[in-house]
Amino acid sequence: MYKWLVVAASSLLTFVCLIVFKDSQVLATASVIFFGALILFASWSWEHFIVYVTLFVTAIFMEILSVRVGLWSYGNPALFGIPLWIPFVWANSALFVIELKELYDGRKARRS
């Protein structure tokens, strides 16, 4: 339960920090990195680390491509049309979804 609490709180606080630091790329990115590190530490495994890095890299390419072809744009781009914090948010979200699934699987197994 401790792990799930850290992951859920970190995910929520990531969103809150993005709102609070919306005008500062540096503070927004630093807070997202900090909470991503907490999530990764609380749910540490090499598989989670590989998912984090893979989604981080994939997010960079997908976001840049999406901006370049005109699917959307950001009001405060920092690098290649995207905010610095975007790939970290994608990677943090992946860990949140993994933990949510593990929580669901654990509760489902206890009911069986």
**pLDDT class for 55, splitting at 50, 70, 90?**
very high
Residue 51, judged by CB atoms within 10 A of its CB (0-12, 13-18, 19+), counts as middle
Nearest-angstrom CA–CA distance, 33 and 101:
22
pLDDT in tens, 84-101: 999 999 999 999 999 889
> pTM score, two decimals?
0.89
Q: Is the pLDDT of residue 29 over 90?
A: yes
Nearest-angstrom CA–CA distance, 70 and 61:
14
Structure tokens at 2: 């401790």
CB atoms within 10 A of CB 49: 13
Contact 96, 7 (CB under 8 A): yes
For residue 1, what pLDDT is reported? 64
